[in-house]
Amino acid sequence: MSSNADKFLGAAETFPDDALPDHRVYEHPLVQRYATKEMSFVWSPAMKFTTWRKLWTALATAEQELGIVITDEQLEQMRTNLFNVDFELAAEKEAEFRHDVMGHVHAFGEAAPKAMPVIHLGATSCFVGDNTDLVQIRDALKLIKRKLVQVLDILRVFAEEHRELPTLGYTHYQPAQLTTVGKRACLWMQDLLLDLDRVEREIDELPMRGVKGTTGTQASFLELFDGDHEKVKALNKRVCELMNFKKAIPVSGQTYTRKIDFNILSVLSGIAQSAYKMCGDIRLLANLKEVEEPFAKKQIGSSAMAYKRNPMRSERVCSLARYVMSLPNAAANTHANQWFERTLDDSAIRRVILPEGFLACDVILTLLANISDGMVVWPNVVKSHVMAELPFMATEVILMECVKAGGDRQELHEAIRVHSMDAGAVVKGEGKPNDLLERIAKDPLFAAIHSKLETLIDPKLFVGRAPEQVDEFLSDEVKPILEANKALLAQKSVDDVNV
């Protein structure tokens, strides 16, 4: 007789051919689980292939303006069918021609038959491919900018609220001089401001590939315009204008230099680094029970340990950030290995790293906004950690006050040293609270400050200029940027954190 273990092994051995037919294809978790609708749309087939049609229409429009025989009716058909994409027909044509661009040329031609003779006139595949990539990069950067600005505004409120709250500073993850909770948030914001500056620079300076031809020489367009160099230059400029670009890249091979991809992914990597650092801090603070990220009423922290409140959103940020930070290396290798005017080994990897870099970075910023907006600080826990270390930090002040009252500096210093060693032994050896102040309060050598000992160890006396630094940083650096981007602050995201 078979045991239950044998029966299980028999049942589990083979996956039935007819089981779960709708769930047998891999689903990318970045898209299915995390990505926002807005960024997904930027990199969607709908955006990509309608941009191809816009480029073909912009090219034909500019060619007509410069004297090529293209009728208004042809242009009208192209404009009318910008968003009328038959994806099934395009796939059939691609399978027939073994070429994705020509598949879509013919699908566009079916929708705009009178325009078929002039679609893609003088162009190469990279005219639509590369220029569309740059349009998508530009639109994606604008979305990233909006979310960066919104995160900065949320953190501004947090920093203002906690500008004066003393907290332990840490170096080497060991207690150091005090800072404030608001000042620490400003450190996070400083990184994000540097990221925003690079994002804005890339948006402003990003070039279009333009009309360059098969190896970047514009030979086909020079032929089209009967050797008229000025018309070829005008065509390049006009297509850029119609696609809302300020400029085209000055020279190219078949593609725009893949150095641009590296630069863009480096910017995204920078954002990921900033987010990782911020959320790493939050995770450590959560362990200390000083800070908690938002936690839903029915959220489960652990399937086994029901009491847990894990900082799972911050952990997700760090997880995705680690991936984004790895992408510039792939872009660097792709750029370095482009032989002469172009090799096609750039194609497959760019289809992955460009969309995924933006999708992941967008999720990271959505999570940062969510975490920052709902982050809880527990002041009493923060204070308890401060007071556990403050007595050691206050000894210099106590020493100075006693000397001013006529005490012997060397004698006082030795007494503090002995008391500090004994108090440290109690903390580390016996697990008891720091009793240094109690020892000082009982030592007649320090009688001059016994009556004001409590006032000498007010944590706010040990934070330096941290509150003022918060005010100055927000006033001088953050608020002018927020004011310049008020329109972005008013825009609402289509969706929020999914899980």
- Which residues carry out catalysis? 172, 302
H or E segment to which residue 412 belongs: helix 409-425
Alpha-carbon gap, residue 75 to 53, rounded angstroms: 11
Of 25, 9, 34, nearest to 319 by C-alpha is: 34
- 97: tokens are 């021609």
Extract the runs of DSSP E, i.e. beta strands, from 311-385: 376-377
| Ramachandran angles phi, psi of 230, nearest 5° | -65, -35
Of 135, 150, 126, nearest to 48 by C-alpha is: 135
CB 447 within 8 A of CB 381: no
Q: Locate tokens 């059939």: which residue? A: 92
Alpha-carbon gap, residue 84 to 109, rounded angstroms: 11
Looking only at the bridges linking them, the beta strands covering 166-171 and 174-180 are antiparallel
**Environment class of residue 492 by beta-carbon count within 10 Å: exposed (0-12), middle (13-18) or buried (19+)?**
exposed
Residues 6+ apart with CB under 8 A from 193: 152, 477, 478, 481
